[in-house]
Amino acid sequence: MDFFLQQLFNGLAVGGIYALVALGYTMVYGVMKLMNFAHGELFTMGAFLGLTLLGVFSFTEVLGPFGGIFVLILMVMGMVAIMGVLLERVAYRPLRNSPRLSAIVSALGASIFLQNAIMLMYGARFQVYPHGLLPNTPVSLFGVDIPLLRILLFLVSVFMMAGLYFFVQRTRIGTAIRAAAIDQDAARLMGINVDRVIQIVFIIGPALGAAAGVMVGIYYGQINFTMGWIFGLKAFTAAIIGGIGNIPGAMLGGLLLGVLETMGAAYISTAWKDAIAFGVLILILLVRPRGILGERVADKL
């Protein structure tokens, strides 16, 4: 039981990161029906920018561990959000009225471009995050010792997801995002500036992905220019498991995938971790092709 709870928290910490990245995929897909393949690279960019900023300024020493990481993550989120907006301007907006295949090719191209740009700037080797940025003393929870870092990561991702959920469900702009995801032309007839909505989605998604990048750096301690590929693929899987285009679905899918993967690694074999993740994807798609929360209500004509 102790082992199970430890693994559960391990899985939730990883799953929270998947969920944050998955939200970027699912929000862009929801509004534009486009897979932003460059999203994984924005996540990588977040991890590297975090490392660079840590090298320039000792956030945790000056502002304390929590305040320092908080400010660091906010700064990285802002920087990557700007990159997200630029990406949309350069790679996607000119293709808004082109066939969907063109936009997909552009997305793949942007992904390769960014990955290589990161490699050229930072090198191809693994880079190491400073050790002990956040306290990692074990905390006793339900009678089990859980490393504090995992709990913190999980809480941070839950906090961000809750914020996003509130924003999308309760605010005027959030409702406009949901409307544009359902029917762009009808949204225009409501007076919604769909270009602006797309821009906002390209601020929120990359910002969340960037936060996840910094969290991965802190959690695993090392980062590499290809990390966006495997994390992106897992997050993409999570978004599809939850129902692509569905925001709570991405959150659920991410957490579920993280927990299942960790459990599989713990109880079956670490080598099977990825096979289990994608096996789950296949199983869920066989039973529910639209994902767990995908499109619950059909539109009547």
Sites of contact with another protein (CB under 8 A): 172, 175-176, 178-179, 182-183, 185-194, 295-301
Find the shortest distance in angstroms from Cβ 84 to another protein.
22
Find the shortest distance in angstroms from Cβ 95 to another protein.
17
Q: Helix H segments across 243-272?
A: 247-267
Find the shortest distance in angstroms from Cβ 272 to another protein.
37
Minimum CB distance to another protein smaller for 90 or for 186: 186
Nearest Cα to Cα of residue 30 among 157, 163, 162, 164: 164
Find the shortest distance in angstroms from Cβ 248 to another protein.
12
Minimum CB distance to another protein smaller for 101 or for 297: 297
> What does the angle CA 150 – CA 213 – CA 199 come to, to the nearest 5 degrees?
125
Rounded to the nearest angstrom, the gap between the alpha carbon of residue 251 and the centroid of all alpha carbons in its chain is 9
Minimum CB distance to another protein smaller for 156 or for 187: 187
Rounded to the nearest angstrom, the gap between the alpha carbon of residue 222 and the centroid of all alpha carbons in its chain is 18
Neighbours of 126 (CB within 10 A): 12
- Please state the φ and ψ torsions of residue 140, each to the nearest 5 degrees: -85, 120
Minimum CB distance to another protein smaller for 188 or for 273: 188
Pairing of strands 222-223, 127-128: antiparallel
Q: Determine the Cα–Cα distance for residues 16 and 199; give it in Å rounded to an integer.
A: 24
Residues 34, 111 contacting (CB under 8 angstroms):
no
Find the shortest distance in angstroms from Cβ 174 to another protein.
10
Minimum CB distance to another protein smaller for 178 or for 273: 178
